[in-house]
Amino acid sequence: MTRLILLNKPYDMLCQFTDRGSEGSPRATLSDVVKVAGVYPAGRLDRDSEGLLILTDDGGLQARISDPKHKMEKSYWVQVEGHVTEDALTALRAGVMLNDGMTRPAKAEAIAAPEGLWQRIPPVRFRKSVPDSWLKLTIAEGRNRQVRRMTAAVGLPTLRLIRVQIGDWTLEGLAPGEWRFATPPPPEPVTPFATKGPKPGPRPHGSLGLAGPKARARKSFRGGGGRA
């Protein structure tokens, strides 16, 4: 039976179970909080980002969640330097040009500071002369550090980044480092084979089927291991 875990990944935690190549390193990993064998992250969340991370033992489900071709939406609360302007939101909604190409259009809105949000450890470093504000950004891509690069492209450097939703799963009720089991989604529907209809009539000589009287009979092959 598929297992699916929702974790609120704390700031400064690596999105992996071991800190490979750094024996004795003090860096926190997923193994510090998730004591369940055989589950692995579906996608990633940067060390300096916080929030929702999904872990599962189902490889197919991992792909559905993490592979951008499935276009599963992921939502973030983003604290930025500066005021969120309508021009910045319009640009994010249209897609912005990054060094690896144009992004897909995002859903973007200015929000108030989220109520009851935990304090980050260590706290965010602010500049007294620069205001800060919040926005909610929803994307269906998975480029490296994409949200940070998108906000920077519209003049709003990211100070704090929290993923709050992936598809229908949310961070609700989870403090940093806490996790819970969740219900996996139903499997993707299988496309049925086409219904058999009447056999097509003979094709005219010269067509791709070569069904005319002078057509050479096709050879029949049995066995073999080839795959088209």
Question: What is the 3 state secondary structure string of the chain?
Answer: CCCEEEEEECCCECCCCCCCCCCCCCCECHHHCCCCCCCEECCCCCCCCEEEEEEECCHHHHHHHHCHHHCCCEEEEEEEECCCCHHHHHHHHHCCEECCEECCCCEEEEECCCCCCCCCCCCCCCCCCCCEEEEEEEECCCCCCHHHHHHHHCCCCEEEEEEEEECCEECCCCCCCCEEECCCCCCCCCCCCCCCCCCCCCCCCCCCCCCCCCCCCCCCCCCCCCCC
Catalytic residue among 12, 19, 46, 57: 46
Tokens read off for 105? 């259009």
Tell me, yes or no, if 57 is annotated catalytic: no
Residue 26, preceding peptide bond in cis (omega within 30° of 0) = no
- Vertex 217, ends 215 and 221: CA angle to 5°? 145
- Vertex 43, ends 121 and 29: CA angle to 5°? 40
Which residues are part of the catalytic machinery?
46
